[in-house]
């Protein structure tokens, strides 16, 4: 029996990384799949824990070789999921949390139809803009690009099975935890054969 693949997507600044990190702290049966990216580390991020930070030529070489199960160009940087790492975790029966954008979410769903897609949305575009500005990581052009991309990503949220409107971190983490528990409790007739 393989593990469950949970895909969490959201516009930049909506809180998906924060929610995922909080969930992982309290769920020892869930592991995080570390993605590759060509962007530079942000304050507090470390190589191998948050992302594998690689040069663009290395990323594109791995993509061409088929080492990445999904990849996307987001906000001018490449992101992708190493195939061998993800498949190994699932074969071991581990439940995996994948924090990727909607392009990657669509690619994963085609390859893993049983993947559980969860979309995290901000309460409003105005609130999202406030969050992007207060985190002080981007210049004005980057903020506007992220807001434009957010509108496009929100328009695609209907492709996801679950939606969490992230108004309050504690409440949103609880909703995310409830989704994980519900998916683990779905009926599997194979389990009953051993009873």
Which of the four pLDDT bands, split at 50, 70 and 90, describes residue 133?
confident
Least confident range from 36-40, 92-96, 190-194: namely: 190-194
Instruction: For domain 5-184, give the CATH superfamily.
Output: P-loop containing nucleotide triphosphate hydrolases (3.40.50.300)
Are 79 and 60 within 8 A, CB to CB? no
pLDDT at 189: 66
Contacts of 139 (CB under 8 A, 6+ apart): none
- On average, the pLDDT of the chain sits at 91
pLDDT digits (tens, 9 = 90+) for 59-83: 999 999 999 999 988 878 999 999 9
Calculate mean pLDDT across residues 168-182: 96
Are 155 and 119 within 8 A, CB to CB? no
pLDDT digits (tens, 9 = 90+) for 77-127: 999 999 999 999 999 999 999 999 898 999 999 999 999 999 999 999 999
| More confident: 193 or 58 | 58
| More confident: 190 or 99 | 99
Give the strands of the sheet with 68-74, arranged side by side: 51-53, 35-37, 77-82, 68-74
Enter the pTM of the model: 0.86
pLDDT at 112: 93
């Amino acid at each position: 029996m393989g593990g469950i693949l949970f895909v969490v997507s959201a516009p930049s600044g909506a809180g998906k990384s924060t929610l995922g990190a909080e969930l992982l702290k309290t769920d020892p049966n869930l592991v995080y799949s570390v993605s590759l990216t060509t962007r530079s580390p942000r304050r507090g991020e470390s190589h191998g824990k948050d992302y594998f930070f690689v040069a663009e030529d290395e990323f594109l070489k791995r993509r061409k070789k088929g080492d990445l199960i999904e990849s996307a160009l987001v906000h001018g940087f490449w992101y992708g999921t190493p195939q061998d790492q993800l498949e190994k975790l699932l074969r071991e029966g581990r439940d995996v949390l994948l924090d990727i954008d909607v392009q990657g979410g669509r690619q994963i769903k085609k390859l893993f139809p049983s993947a559980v897609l969860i979309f995290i949305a901000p309460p409003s575009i105005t609130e999202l803009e406030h969050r992007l500005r207060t985190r002080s990581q981007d210049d004005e052009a980057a903020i506007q690009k992220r807001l434009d991309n957010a509108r496009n990503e929100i328009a695609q949220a209907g492709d996801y099975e679950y939606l969490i409107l992230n108004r309050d971190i504690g409440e949103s983490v609880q909703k995310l935890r409830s989704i994980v528990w519900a998916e683990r409790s779905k009926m599997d007739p194979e389990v009953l054969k051993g009873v």
